[in-house]
Chain A
Amino acid sequence: KNQVEQSPQSLIILEGKNCTLQCNYTVSPFSNLRWYKQDTGRGPVSLTIMTFSENTKSNGRYTATLDADTKQSSLHITASQLSDSASYICVVSSRRGDYKLSFGAGTTVTVRA
């Protein structure tokens, strides 16, 4: 069973609008949570990384939040641009020290002009 669930699976938004992506996880004990952006045909690129003590982190128009108590994270995209069209992947790691990361299946965002 996947320990990282993302929703929605896909969404379409108009250029200039905002959107929020969700990530729920069951990975325990928690170490950190990352959001990656993957353009079509490319490798994932890191957007943010948050540890247990951080509940929000921004990277330009991308803002990630983390609630470690409810094991939920969100990625908010502000004033979307056509270049934001991509898949956004939530990745969670534990403190087990086993070198393994748990990946969500991703949310595909399409920004329309």
Chain B
Amino acid sequence: NAGVTQTPKFQVLKTGQSMTLQCAQDMNHEYMSWYRQDPGMGLRLIHYSVGAGITDQGEVPNGYNVSRSTTEDFPLRLLSAAPSQTSVYFCASSRQGSPTNTGELFFGEGSRLTVL
């Protein structure tokens, strides 16, 4: 089982460039989300979706866009990359509509982004 698949695993950008981090899950999960992980800090929620066509902002949404046209895919777009967006990004999904229920949250392997 593939689970949650993220691409690319590594990416280097220059300030001002745009790019898209891809996330796909094959578990037919309703809930999908993007987090960033920075040293010494807990994971922080960027955007999330509770189903196709529905997205909402998390704690740190500025500089990022998302869309959810299908159940399987939830891409994260960086509009104009900044050095502050250097981080490791994780996509996660959950079968239930909300991960605050007892449904398990499944994470991808992460995408390490460096912005110069």
* Residues in A lying within 8 Å of B, measured CB to CB: 2, 4, 31-32, 34, 41-46, 49, 51, 89, 93-106
B residues 86-106 with Cβ under 8 Å of A? Answer: 90, 92, 98-102, 104-106
Is B41 interfacial (CB 8 A cutoff)?
yes
Whether A100 contacts B109 by the Cβ 8 Å rule is: no
Residues of A contacting B31 with CB < 8 Å? 99
Is B42 interfacial (CB 8 A cutoff)?
yes
Q: How far is the CA of A49 from the CA of B41 in the complex (A)?
A: 21
The 5 closest A-B pairs by CB, nearest first: A103-B42, A43-B107, A93-B100, A103-B43, A44-B107
Q: How far is the CA of A99 from the CA of B101 in the complex (A)?
A: 9
Please tell me the number of chain B residues within 8 Å of chain A, measured between CB atoms: 27
Q: Contacts A2-B41, A89-B43 given; 9 further ones with Cβ under 8 A?
A: A2-B42, A32-B100, A42-B110, A43-B4, A43-B92, A43-B107, A43-B108, A44-B107, A49-B104
Query: In chain A, what residue has the closest Cβ to B33?
Result: A99
Whether B109 contacts A42 by the Cβ 8 Å rule is: yes
* Residues in B lying within 8 Å of A, measured CB to CB: 4, 31, 40-45, 48, 50, 56, 58-59, 90, 92, 98-102, 104-110
Residues of B contacting A97 with CB < 8 Å? 98, 100
Partner of A32, one of B43, B44, B102: B102
Whether B42 contacts A102 by the Cβ 8 Å rule is: yes
Q: How far is the CA of A53 from the CA of B23 in the complex (A)?
A: 35
Residues of B contacting A42 with CB < 8 Å? 109-110
